Amino acid sequence: MRFMHIRTRFAPSPTGFIHLGNLRSALYPWAFARHNKGDFILRIEDTDLERSSQEAVDVIIEGMAWLGLDLDEGPIYQMQRIDRYREVVKQMLDSGLAYPCYMSEEELNKLRDQQMASKEKPRYNGLWRPEPGKTLPPVPEGVSPVIRFKNPIGGSVIWNDAVKGQIEISNDELDDLVIARPDGTPTYNFCVVIDDMDMNITHVIRGDDHVNNTPRQINIMKALGGSPPVYAHLPTVLNDAGEKMSKRNGAMSVRDYQRAGYLPDAILNYLARLGWSHGDAEVFTKEQFVNWFDLESLGRSPAQHNPEKLLWLNHQYIQNSDPVKLAAATKPIAHEMGMDTEAGPDFVQVVSLLKDRANTLIEIAEGAKLFYLPAPNLTADQIKENIAEAVMPALKDLVEAISTAEPTKEAYAAVFKQILAKYQIKMPALAMPVRYALFATTQTPAIDSVLVVLGKEEAVKRLSKVVQ
Ligand code: GLU
């Protein structure tokens, strides 16, 4: 097998809104590089000054760091490479690979109108393209030209797309691409080629909205003596309604998911499956994903975002998380909700109790309120309404038994069992009033565990207020 040092890149344009689908385009090249012990590079394609923003760059970089998509090189900003692009434009002019074109906007528009009228595909007609024996029009005065690439005439561009299979585009379809504007600034497709060459990119894994750019990029690359990388064009990610994902139709940004209490590993697992599969594996570790990742298993049809599945995965990850780590991730949320996690039971214990039933960290934090909000100050009326007179003797016995029991789940469970037997009542008849007395709610996890976490002293104090 031919040895190849794999180098991939994620090359986002930092324009507008960065959603989960965008980050999937980072995940696959990252995984491919890691699987092959290669390099993964972040390149920020920020030459569209009007639409690029630092805010979008920050969201991309933070999102990648949050998901653990580590970089070997970058971020490299295209705006910092403008001199390099200009240098190559000059070389191409000098070597005859490119030429100045003085056709004005108006002339171009006129040409386009004529072509449209005769049902032809609008394209530049090569007026300024130098050819042996051809006389070019006189250079107009005071006009700064664009620079065009001399696209090959005849033949076709063929590549074997790792996702889409073989693609062939006739060179007749491609006109001479503008590689530099009249002010000398390089154009998008040109910068991509120079970067992919200079950065020795071996595999370009990107969204299939770039398929149309690929033949142009391959032609320029070949003209410059480069050999094209492997291309893998990923099908789009659709939202849950089957439309293209965008802010307008409700997509959430990566930051939104972070704030909503999703775990990065759950998101990574979810994104991995959004267009790639390994047998029927649904829940897997990051290491497994990297071990299994290959381009052959990328899906060919658009993937659809499924919020319920993401929530389900998040639940799986929360359930299997180490409580210490989970507590550390939940604490800031609890603080934001106004809880003082130092004033009350050990937070790790609280999280351990709640994690099995929670889908998000927000839900854990909500549940934690039981233990950190002040004890309820029940009025006589509230007690009367919520705790049946008939259960009072049992409750009284329970408080006494609890105060002398070992502070363990088992011991408390035994206390409950004994009181239920003595009074011939069922668990809910006793547990509901206990919950109400402790928290002014009947919704809590298993009561014996709740007593352990709340602490015997505090529990007895709250219960005694009700039974006296
Ligand atoms: N900057 C392009 C985008 O954000 C990606 C270009 C590429 O991957 O070649 O869609």
Q: What is the pLDDT of residues 152-180, one digit of tens each?
A: 999 999 999 999 999 999 999 999 999 99
**341 lies in the same domain as 410:** no
Q: Choose the final residue of a domain: 337, 372, 407.
A: 372
pLDDT digits (tens, 9 = 90+) for 275-319: 999 999 999 999 999 999 999 999 999 999 999 999 999 999 999
Last residue of a domain, one of 372, 388, 410: 372
**342 and 384 co-located in one domain:** no
Residues 457, 390 share a domain: yes
Instruction: Give the count of domains, the chain.
Output: 2
280 is a domain residue: no
> Strand pairing of 178-180 and 146-149?
antiparallel
Residue 86 lies in a domain: no
Rg (CA), the chain: 32
Quote the CA–CA distance of 453 and 345 in Å, as a whole number: 6
Looking at the structure, do residues 341 and 386 belong to the same domain, yes or no? no
**336, 385: one domain:** no
Residue 3's pLDDT is: 65
State if residue 201 touches ligand 1 by the CB under 6 angstroms criterion. Answer: no
Quick one: average pLDDT of 15-34?
93
Task: Report the separation in Å between the CA atom of 108 and the middle of ligand 1, taken as the mean of its atom positions.
Answer: 27
For residues 451 and 402, membership in a common domain is answered with: yes
Give the whole-angstrom CA distance, residue 66 versus residue 357: 24
Q: Is the separation of the CB atoms in 416 and 451 below 8 Å?
A: no
* Segment 450-459, tens digit of pLDDT: 999 999 999 9
Q: Which of 13, 159, 213 to mutate to test the pocket of ligand 1 (most atoms within 8 A of CB)?
A: 13
Are 390 and 354 members of one domain? no
CA 85-231-268 angle, 5° bins: 100
Q: Is 420 contained in some domain?
A: yes
- The answer as to whether 48 is a domain residue is no
What atom of ligand 1 comes closest to residue 25's alpha carbon? Answer: 8
437 pLDDT band, cuts 50/70/90, is very high
Has residue 246 got a pLDDT over 80? no
Which of 48, 210, 216, 220 for a ligand 1 pocket mutation test, highest count of atoms within 8 Å of Cβ?
A: 210
pTM, two decimal places: 0.91
Q: Give yes or no: residues 386 and 443 share one domain.
A: yes
Q: Which atom of ligand 1 is nearest to the CA of 196?
A: 9
* Most ligand 1 atoms within 8 A of CB, residue of 9, 194, 206, 213 to mutate: 206
In a domain, 138, yes or no: no
Which CATH number belongs to the domain containing residue 447 in this structure? Answer: 1.10.10.350
Which of 311, 337, 372 is where one domain is finished? 372
Q: Is residue 257 part of a domain?
A: no
Given a contact cutoff of 8 angstroms between Cβ atoms, the answer to whether 30 and 300 are in contact is: no
Q: Given a cut of 60, is residue 393 above it in pLDDT? A: yes
Whether residue 388 is found in the same domain as residue 460: yes
CA distances from 305 to 59, 88, 279 (A): 20, 41, 20
Amino acid at 140: P
Q: Are residues 431 and 455 in the same domain?
A: yes
Residue with tokens 């005439």: 153
Residues 456, 427 share a domain: yes
Q: Report if residue 385 sits inside a domain.
A: yes
pLDDT at 2 (0 to 100):
55
Residues 432 and 407 in one domain: yes
Ligand 1 nearest-atom number relative to CA 192: 9
∠ at Cα 113 (109, 119), nearest 5°? 140
For residue 336, name the pLDDT band (cuts at 50, 70, 90): very high
Instruction: Give the distance between the most distant pair of CA atoms in the chain.
Output: 111
pLDDT, the chain, mean: 95
Kindly indicate the confidence band of residue 231, based on its pLDDT and cuts at 50, 70 and 90. Answer: very high
- pLDDT, residue 384, reads 93
Q: Which domain holds residue 453?
A: 380-467
404 domain-assigned = yes
